A = this chain, B = another copy of it.
């Protein structure tokens, strides 16, 4: 039996009164949904503004001493129309005036931005008849801006200890001196995860405008299937390669606490969405692959040197050069007298000449260094591939039938993914070939 669910609703799920009604009916479907973390109202249509963007604009204008009533009136209208239409009692007009004054008074950027969630939380608490718990009292940052996880956990658990339903606005918290501090953009996901951990929720539901994660990028594969179940580790691999709906930092608090996350669609409340959990328990059958994600634009630095292999420390020196310039390497395929390091071309660009210079010094006169760009990296991820003999065979056969040349392969670290490198021009075809091989 589920005892307690924490829900987080994204901006598009709270864009207007109609969306507020959907949220309430979702909460009513399942009474154990007792905590709600709202974002700020998002876009109602594609050319609409997000409230958070409007707030940043107000702050920017104010800090240049300019009038900001243009964007602010839009904000005011958004909140007032929701309150009006839903017949809310909270004095949102006064709250809006206070925000306007605060911006004019030169309150800092984080404070201004955080008001979107704050005001949205006030409306939602009133609409649901739930308690409003200001995140400034529950989420604590260190003075350097890092989240103070321990204090946050203890503040939030005591604030929510009585178990009564509550709304905790997302995205912000405070420093020890009480001043407001926000997460990076999309940080309401993190607030939701922190609340879920604090109340030891059974599930953390993250309500968005998609029915969970897709197995592949819909810009590449037509109408890709949804992922019904994924582990945190699989998701890390996929989201690193660019497939993400969640704020990256949002997974760790709940992952650590062993709480599954359920990505749901506010507009399709009966769709089960994607469940993200530690071990994907109770599976009748695991699909061979969980998802495919990839990225163009990698560079491969190839080093050759006679007898490289007998030189203990060579690999370390190569990585040290990248480290000096703060460049992460993605992969390091190793031969006998040759070694490659793969890094994002963008990360390499500002230091390209210096890096190559230093690599050349490493291989000395009897070696060579070359760079080749425009490589894509594609990760095929699946907990089902461990101990599945045929996965690599199917994957490479599919690529071979599509006449795609494999420039790089890396598998073995997690036994959770097969990484292939192909020319950028083969990127889309590779993703499609793999998708159709395993999904159909």
Contact = CB atoms under 8 A, between A and B. Distances in A.
- Residue of A309, A333, A394, A400 most packed against chain B (CB within 10 A): A333
A416 interface: yes
Nearest to A241: B336
A389 B406 contact: yes
A312 B323 contact: yes
A336 to B, nearest CB: 5
B396 A336 contact: no
A386 to B, nearest CB: 9
Residue of A312, A329, A336 contacting most chain B CB atoms (<10 Å) = A336
A395 to B, nearest CB: 8
A409 B331 CA distance: 12
A218 interface: no
A315 interface: yes
A416 B331 CA distance: 18
Contacts of A404: 389
Contact of A328 (B237, B310, B409, B418): B310
Interface string A309-346: 11011011001101100111111111111111010000
A355 B333 CA distance: 23
Integer count of this chain's copies in the complex = 2
Contacts of A387: 405
B333 A315 contact: no
A392 B406 CA distance: 8
Contact of A336 (B236, B395, B397, B405): B236
Interface size class, chain A: 35 or more
A339 B413 contact: yes
B405 A400 contact: no
A337 B329 CA distance: 13
Contacts of A237: 335-336
Interface in A54-89: none
Interface of A: 233, 236-237, 240, 252, 300, 302, 306-307, 309-310, 312-313, 315-316, 319-320, 322-323, 326-340, 342, 387-390, 392-397, 399-400, 403-418, 421
- 9 A-B pairs with least C-beta separation: A408-B412, A333-B412, A335-B413, A393-B400, A316-B319, A393-B396, A335-B414, A392-B396, A409-B411
